[in-house]
Chains A and B, each alone.
Chain A
C-alpha cells in the first residue's frame, strides 16, 4: 500500500514538474522566437536618462520627447499651486518666456518628429508598393534588396538606440509576409467551381535559403481538390524569397 502511494506521489510530482517545466519551456520558446530582444528597450530606457539629448539623431529626439513632457508638466504644476497669488508680473513674464521657449522647442521637436514619421511612412509605402508592383521574376532580387535595406536601418537603429525598434521589426516582418503572400498567391491556381466556405491551412518551415521543410496540411478544407491546389501553390512557389531568419508559417487559403 505504502509503496503504491509513494509511486503515486512520485508520479504526481513528476507530472506537476513536467507541467511546470513545459510551461517554462513554452514561454521561453515564445520569447526566444523573434519578437526582437526586449534587451533593446531596456537599454533605451537607461540611456535615455543618462544621455541628456546630446546625440543629434532624430531617433534619439523621438525617444526623448516623452520624458521632457513629463518634466515640463511637473515643473508647471507646482508653480501655480504654491505661488499663484504671490506671482509678480516679472515672474509672469519670466514664466511666459520659459513656456515660450519650451513651446518653441516643442514645436521644433514635433516638426522633426512629424518629418521623421513622414519619411518612415514613405519608406513603408515604397516597400509596400514594390512588393505589389514587382514582377514575379524580378521579385526575388528586389525583395532581397528591400530586406537588406530594412536590416540596415535596423542595425543603425540598434547602434543609435532606436526608440521604435519594435515597430521597425513589424515593418520588416510585414514586408516579408507581404512578399511571400504575393509570391505564393501568384502560383496559386484554383478555378471558381462555385464552392464557397472553403478554407485550408498549410504550414511549413522556411529556411534561410528560401527552401521549405516539413510542409503539412494543418487543416483540410474538406475538398481534396482545393487542398491539392494549395499544396501545389506552395510547391510551385519554392524557393520562396529569403527570410531574415528561419521561421515557421501557416498559410490560410480561401478562394
Chain B
C-alpha cells in the first residue's frame, strides 16, 4: 500500500507547480523564408573550389537558402569549425570540405549546426575524375536532404526532343543543363513528340511518325533498346504511364476523331475512355492513378477536363482563356500546370485540381510543354523568349526562370525525370 501511495502523493504534490498559468504567443510566419547557410570553399585541391561552387549554385537555385558574401566570413576554410564565428552572421548551417585528387576524386564534407553547436554529418565521396559535376550534385543532394528532410532534384535529369542539322533526336541532360547526351537519333523527316518517363525512371515513352505511320515507342534504359508499344491507323499520341507502370494513356484517332485510351503494356489490350466526336488529347494521370486530366474542345474553346481513370465522371476544370492544353500533374496531386493562350502568346499557368486558384507563371514569349520536377518545386518548359526555342526551368511560383539548354539547340517538350 505504502509503495503505491508514495508515488501517487508525490505526483499530486508535483502537478500543481507545473500547472502555473502560462501565456501562449502565436508566431505564424517566419521572418526569414530562406535558411542562412555557409558553404566554404573545399580545401586540398583546386577542384575543391569548383565543387563547392556547384553545390552553392545548386542550393541557391532552390530558393530555400540564403548565402552571405564570403568576404564576411570570420573563419577561413582551413580553420576548424567554431560556432561563435557564425552566430553573429546569423548563419545556421556551415559546410566544410576537403578534396583529394589521386587516381580518383575523393571528397569529404562536414555539415555543422552553428546554433545547436554540433556536427550533423560527415560524409566521404569518391568518383572518377570526369564525374566532378555528378559528385557535386550528390553532395548537394546530401546537404539538402539533411537540412530540409526532403529529397532534392540535384541528381534528376530532363529528357527532350531536338532537331540537329541532319536528324531528330531524343536527349537527356542534367536538370541544370549540363552533360547533354543524345540517346536516340532518327531521320530528319520523321517526327518525335514529347517524351514521358515511367515512374521508376527506367523507361521513356514517346510518339513518333515513321513511314507515315504513328506509333508509340518505348526505350528501356536497362538495355537501351527501343520497342514499338502500339501502332494503328490514324494519329497515336502517347500520354503518361499510370503510376504502377502497367498502363499507358494515349490518344488515337483510329476511330475518326482523337479519343483517349488506356493501353495495357504487356497484353496490348486497349480500353477506350472517351467517345465524343470532339478532339480529346494530352492525357495526364494523377499521382494516385485515379484520375486523368485531358484536353477537350467540346465547349467551342478547347479546355481542360478531368475524368476518372475508367472514363466516368468527366468534368470541366478550366474556364479562363481560349486555348488550354498540355496539362501536367504535380507530384503531390494538388496542382496542375498547363499551357494557355493569352492574346496571341502561349503562357503557363497552374491551377488546383478542383479548378480553383488559377496562377499565371510566365509573361514573356511563348511558353509551352510544362513538366513538374519530382519534388514538385520546379517546372521545366520550352520558351522562345530568347529567339530559338530552349528549355527553361523555374520554381512553381514562377520565380527563378532560367534557360538550361544550349542556345544553339532548337528543342521541344521537356520531361523531368523521376528521382
Residues of chain B within 8 A (CB-CB) of A99 are none
A-B contact count (CB 8 A): 123
A22 vs B11: C-alpha distance when bound (angstroms): 10
CB of B68 within 8 Å of the partner chain:
no
Stretch at the interface among B147-155, B210-218, B260-268: B147-155
Residues of chain A within 8 A (CB-CB) of B31 are 185-189
Contact A25 B16 (CB under 8 A): yes
A189 vs B115: C-alpha distance when bound (angstroms): 12
Looking across the interface, which residue of chain A has its beta carbon closest to that of B34? A191
Stretch at the interface among A13-21, A81-89, A104-112, A122-130: A13-21
Residues of chain B within 8 A (CB-CB) of A232 are 92, 115-116
Contact A236 B25 (CB under 8 A): no
CB of B65 within 8 Å of the partner chain:
yes
Residues of chain B within 8 A (CB-CB) of A250 are 22-25
Q: How large, as a class, is the contact surface on chain B? A: 35 or more
A240 vs B385: C-alpha distance when bound (angstroms): 51
Q: A189-B32, A191-B64, A194-B332 are in contact. Are A252 and B12 (CB under 8 A)?
A: no
Q: Which of A45-79 contact B (CB under 8 A)?
A: none
Residues of chain B within 8 A (CB-CB) of A21 are 12
Binary per-residue interface labels of chain A (6-43) against chain B in the complex, 1 for a CB within 8 Å, 0 otherwise: 01000100110011011001100110010100000000
Binary per-residue interface labels of chain B (23-52) against chain A in the complex, 1 for a CB within 8 Å, 0 otherwise: 111111111111110000000000000000
A86 vs B418: C-alpha distance when bound (angstroms): 99
Residues of chain A within 8 A (CB-CB) of B36 are 189
Closest beta carbon of chain B to A243's beta carbon, Å: 11
Q: Which of B22, B24, B149 contacts A224 (CB 8 A)?
A: B149
A133 vs B81: C-alpha distance when bound (angstroms): 36
Residues of chain B within 8 A (CB-CB) of A15 are 8, 12
Chain A, interface SS category: helix
CB of B377 within 8 Å of the partner chain:
yes
Closest beta carbon of chain A to B329's beta carbon, Å: 15
Looking across the interface, which residue of chain B has its beta carbon closest to that of A201? B24
Contact A249 B19 (CB under 8 A): no
Residues of chain B within 8 A (CB-CB) of A19 are 12
Q: How large, as a class, is the contact surface on chain A? A: 35 or more
Looking across the interface, which residue of chain A has its beta carbon closest to that of B62? A191
Contact A22 B13 (CB under 8 A): yes
Q: A14-B5, A22-B13, A26-B19 are in contact. Are A225 and B27 (CB under 8 A)?
A: no
Q: Which of A220-252 contact B (CB under 8 A)?
A: 223-225, 228-229, 231-233, 235-236, 247-252
Q: A19-B12, A26-B16, A191-B65 are in contact. Are A249 and B24 (CB under 8 A)?
A: yes
A232 vs B86: C-alpha distance when bound (angstroms): 14
Q: Which of B1-18 contact A (CB under 8 A)?
A: 1, 5, 8-9, 12-13, 15-17
CB of A193 within 8 Å of the partner chain:
yes
CB of B72 within 8 Å of the partner chain:
no
Residues of chain B within 8 A (CB-CB) of A254 are 26-28
Residues of chain B within 8 A (CB-CB) of A233 are 30
CB of A184 within 8 Å of the partner chain:
yes
Contact B25 A177 (CB under 8 A): yes
A19 vs B11: C-alpha distance when bound (angstroms): 11
Contact B24 A235 (CB under 8 A): no
Contact B149 A225 (CB under 8 A): yes
Q: Which of B5, B16, B90, B376 contacts A22 (CB 8 A)?
A: B16
Looking across the interface, which residue of chain B has its beta carbon closest to that of A136? B31
Looking across the interface, which residue of chain B has its beta carbon closest to that of A181? B25
Closest beta carbon of chain A to B353's beta carbon, Å: 15
Q: A22-B13, A225-B148 are in contact. Are A30 and B20 (CB under 8 A)?
A: yes
Q: Which of B313-352 contact A (CB under 8 A)?
A: 332
Contact A255 B26 (CB under 8 A): no
Contact B332 A190 (CB under 8 A): no
CB of B299 within 8 Å of the partner chain:
no
Closest beta carbon of chain A to B7's beta carbon, Å: 12
CB of A180 within 8 Å of the partner chain:
yes
Contact B16 A29 (CB under 8 A): yes
A191 vs B62: C-alpha distance when bound (angstroms): 10
Residues of chain A within 8 A (CB-CB) of B28 are 254-255
Q: Which of B25, B63, B149 has the largest count of A CB atoms less than 10 A from its CB?
A: B25
Closest beta carbon of chain B to A23's beta carbon, Å: 8
Looking across the interface, which residue of chain B has its beta carbon closest to that of A192? B33
CB of B123 within 8 Å of the partner chain:
no
Looking across the interface, which residue of chain B has its beta carbon closest to that of A30? B21
Closest beta carbon of chain B to A215's beta carbon, Å: 12
Binary per-residue interface labels of chain B (195-223) against chain A in the complex, 1 for a CB within 8 Å, 0 otherwise: 00000000000000000000000000000
A151 vs B278: C-alpha distance when bound (angstroms): 76
Closest beta carbon of chain B to A143's beta carbon, Å: 15
Contact A249 B332 (CB under 8 A): no
Residues of chain A within 8 A (CB-CB) of B13 are 18, 22
Binary per-residue interface labels of chain B (268-290) against chain A in the complex, 1 for a CB within 8 Å, 0 otherwise: 00000000000000000000000
A30 vs B17: C-alpha distance when bound (angstroms): 10
Residues of chain A within 8 A (CB-CB) of B27 are 181, 184-185, 188, 251-254
Q: Which of B9, B26, B87 contacts A236 (CB 8 A)?
A: B87
Residues of chain A within 8 A (CB-CB) of B33 are 189-192
Closest beta carbon of chain B to A17's beta carbon, Å: 10
Q: Which of B88-107 contact A (CB under 8 A)?
A: 90, 92
Contact B25 A22 (CB under 8 A): no
A194 vs B377: C-alpha distance when bound (angstroms): 8
6 contacts between A and B (CB under 8 A): A30-B20, A181-B27, A184-B27, A194-B332, A236-B115, A255-B30
Interface residues, chain A, with chain B CB atoms under 8 Å away: 7, 11, 14-15, 18-19, 21-22, 25-26, 29-30, 33, 35, 173, 177, 180-181, 184-194, 201, 203, 223-225, 228-229, 231-233, 235-236, 247-255
- 18 more contacts with CB within 8 A, not counting A11-B1, A18-B12, A229-B30, are A15-B8, A21-B12, A25-B16, A29-B20, A177-B23, A189-B33, A189-B92, A190-B32, A192-B64, A193-B148, A203-B22, A223-B149, A225-B149, A235-B115, A236-B87, A248-B23, A254-B26, A254-B28
